[in-house]
Structure 1
């Protein structure tokens, strides 16, 4: 099956890739982040490639659906917008975007029904200027300038990660509750009362004129901690045990 009709994601276009292993690794990187549209332009070792299949390791469906093209013009002929990935200056007047910004733009284009492609060059030297000239914009990864070389699959993975990161179903942060719930305000207040009473008995709030401010600071600390019910129970238990041992 050839990928000649883009779906709701960009096409990853490998331009003259040299090693089947890197094609397979790129397929794995794509599928890791929910991408499956691969196009291959004039692979050095021909296609299909058994080394690519072996390296894909579970991502064979990406290779099965990959489109094979003789030249770049044919590979991107149906696309509305093309990005080219490169780590070096090309002397061409084009927008240069970070992977994050580029994938934000790609999502906006896809939402408008546009077909988007992302070009990745051969392992040895990357895309040629003639390849980059066919793109609308450049994606440049902010790598160490003293060692800017990225493996083909690494570059694909970075781009696919940014594509996935900007999807609507990726939550930036979650909290695993580990079989507990957040403590309610009343439970936190009861904990604060417990500690305040015991600390008062121990003479902690001294001198007397500073006691109100110290109590307010302590109570603010409890609410700022965002405690779970399990936390509250443990902290009650800690104080009880300390007092029991003192007695």
Structure 2
């Protein structure tokens, strides 16, 4: 099944431009690009937010829309999640970030994640407008999360199923960085075995075969690149040149 549209991120009464910019960076890390702001304390646009967003994440801020109330910011949203450690007295489902994003994917419509102001978080009146609550299971002795950290956690849970599991390589590996194949390892072992035999290493004769077998087994256990193999050949040639 094709993934739903990424959730909208709604920041309610954010207090510092730096945190809005950091939240934009966290969003773009995981493919979230729609930001809505409700009553940003220091107005909008905010140069400190732009400075913190740094580079590509600035486009998230360029597209951000400002609303006078959370109710207005919910236009077009059909499933909303309120991130809070409070508000459990309200009769709502309570999710972890992972299960919340599963619910957002399963919903046939536009979802949103609502984050409160840095100092006190969402008020109960804000939480009441959401379909469900998201609570991060953190150390109960220190449950406070920075706004950008909270956005990052939710973004990660959304993006981990849609983004590549490993970073894409930036460039093709050089030949020296490629793993040596078994033939290259075999030839390296032959080279060392021949030179060691010439030096009288395999002595006494009764133990020679066992010594060769152990050395061959040692080479096979090593993970070597083609560059490593060339260096080891060169080392042996230099040592035996005289």
Q: Which residue of 1 aligns with 2:121?
A: 126
Query: Which of the numbers 76, 79, 82 marks the counterpart of 2:80?
Result: 82
Asked whether the 8 Å contact 2:80–2:114 carries over to 1, the reply is: yes
Q: Deviations over 1:105-153 (max 9, x none)?
A: 26744xx75322112111001123443442434141x544433322212
Q: Secondary structure at the match of 1:40?
A: strand
Root-mean-square deviation over aligned CA pairs = 3.5
Query: Which of the numbers 153, 157, 179 marks the counterpart of 2:148?
Result: 153
Asked whether the 8 Å contact 1:102–1:139 carries over to 2, the reply is: no
Kindly indicate whether residue 12 of structure 2 is the aligned counterpart of residue 23 of structure 1: no
Q: CA deviation at 1:9?
A: 1.6
Q: Secondary structure at the match of 1:196?
A: helix
Segment of structure 1 superposing worse, 185-194 or 200-209:
200-209
State the aligned residue count. 233
Q: Which runs of 5+ in 1 are unaligned?
A: 1-6
Summarize the Cα distance change of 1:176–1:17 in structure 2 as closer, same or farther, 3 Å threshold: same
Q: Which runs of 5+ in 2 are unaligned?
A: none
Question: 5 Å matches for 1:168-183?
Answer: 168-171=163-166, 177-180=173-176, 181-183=178-180
Q: Secondary structure at the match of 2:33?
A: coil
Asked whether the 8 Å contact 1:14–1:38 carries over to 2, the reply is: yes
Q: Secondary structure at the match of 2:228?
A: helix
Query: Which of the numbers 43, 46, 49 marks the counterpart of 1:52?
Result: 49
Q: Secondary structure at the match of 1:14?
A: strand
Asked whether the 8 Å contact 2:202–2:208 carries over to 1, the reply is: no
Q: CA deviation at 1:68?
A: 2.3
Asked whether the 8 Å contact 2:78–2:111 carries over to 1, the reply is: yes
- TM-score, length-normalised on structure 1? 0.73
- TM-score, length-normalised on structure 2? 0.74
